[in-house]
Amino acid sequence: MRQGDAWAVIRARGLSKIYREGKTELRALDGVDLEVRAGELTLLMGPSGSGKTTLLSILGCILRASAGKLEVLGEDVATLQESELPRIRREAIGFVFQGFNLFPTLTAEENVALSLDVRGIPRSKANKRAEELLREVGLLEKARSFPADLSGGQKQRVAIARALAGDPPILLADEPTAALDSTSGRTVIELLQRLAHVHGRAVVLVTHDPRVLSYGDRIIHLEDGRILREEKNSEGVMSEPASIEAAATPMGISREFSI
């Protein structure tokens, strides 16, 4: 039931990416087929240079594939103009980065609210929402703190709150635990898992971190730009998504969200 088409928020068929530099060609991705489903925590693993980050960038509509087809929430990305990609990113996707990428001149609350400002949400509403999200990630008391005053784990939780601010059904995370100690790393991965399992979001993680393996529902191994194999982790499968319908709602329709 969980692998049915209705849950596939991203569908990729034959994705390839070739980087060209002069006469040199580097095939970073080579015919990748992949479905990303709501309510699942999908891990992308592989050695350096295997194409994980390239794949994540393409799935996140940050990078265009050289060939293949990509659908995000049913929308064919290949047919969209370059200028429309920011809209897809705003409406469908939240990003979490290895280096947090928080704005050092803004407080935790302002960092989260900025994500809503980008979406044109008025300041007062954005601040209120930022406060709610920080409460949900357990950092309300740090709302007025600047990133420099937060620990790595706290920064990453602020970054997750920021990624969730626009209420995206898809969350893409690049090595979110790599820079964290084991306790912080566990807090972050548990938070991401909860977002998938309890709130029905599709969460995709690029990771090298063996500590997170047991949390993934699916583990996709990449090598030389190809999917080597896919594993399903029965231990990682927890409860049914609580808001599957919400997660599968087409873009552009507002949904109330709480973690």
Partner 1 sequence: MGLLARRNLFHDKVRFAVTLTGIVFALVLIIIQFGLFLGFTTTTSNNIDHSNADLWIVFHGVGYFDTGRNFSERKFYQVLSTPGVERAEKYMQAFGRWKRPDGREENIQVIGFHPGSGLGEPWNVVQGSTADLRQEDSVLVDELYREKLGVREIGDRVEIGDHRARVVGFTRGIRSFTTSPFVYATFKTSLDYTNPASSEDSTAYILVKAAEGVAPKQLKERLSERLNDVDVYTTAEFSRKTRFYWMFTTGAGLAVLTAALMGLVVGVAVVAQTIYAATMDHIREYGTLKAMGATNRYLYRVLIEQAVWSAVLGYGLAMIVAHFIVAASEKGGAVILMPWLMSAGMLVLAIVMCITAALVSINKVTRIDPAMVFRG
Interacting positions 188-207 with partner 1 (CB under 8 A): none
Rule CB under 8 A: say whether 117 interacts with partner 1.
yes
Rule CB under 8 A: say whether 106 interacts with partner 1.
yes
Interacting positions 59-98 with partner 1 (CB under 8 A): 60, 62-63, 83, 86-91, 93, 95, 97-98
CB-based burial of residue 124 (10 Å sphere; 0-12 exposed, 13-18 middle, 19+ buried)? Answer: exposed
Rule CB under 8 A: say whether 257 interacts with partner 1.
no
80 or 118: whose CB is closer to partner 1? 118
CB of 173 to partner 1, least distance (A): 11
Question: x/- string (CB under 8 A) for partner 1, residues 132-171?
Answer: ------------------------------x---x-----
Rule CB under 8 A: say whether 104 interacts with partner 1.
yes
d(CA 13, CA 32): 6
- Phi and psi angles of residue 119, each rounded to the nearest 5 degrees, phi first: -90, 5
Q: Are 229 and 60 in contact (CB under 8 A)?
A: no
| Of the residues 50, 57, 154, 207, which one makes contact with partner 1 according to CB under 8 A | 57
d(CA 58, CA 66): 10
80 or 106: whose CB is closer to partner 1? 106
Which DSSP category does 225 fall into?
T
Computed from CA positions of residues 197, 199, 200, 206, in that sequence, does the dihedral angle turn out positive or negative? negative
b/e string for 125-136 if b means 16 or more Cβ within 10 A? ebbebbbbbbeb
Q: What is the CA radius of gyration of the chain?
A: 18
* Stretch touching partner 1 by CB under 8 A, among 7-15, 102-110, 220-228, 236-244: 102-110
Q: Note the residues at the interface with partner 1 (CB under 8 A).
A: 53, 56-57, 60, 62-63, 83, 86-91, 93, 95, 97-99, 101, 103-106, 110, 114-115, 117-119, 162, 166, 174
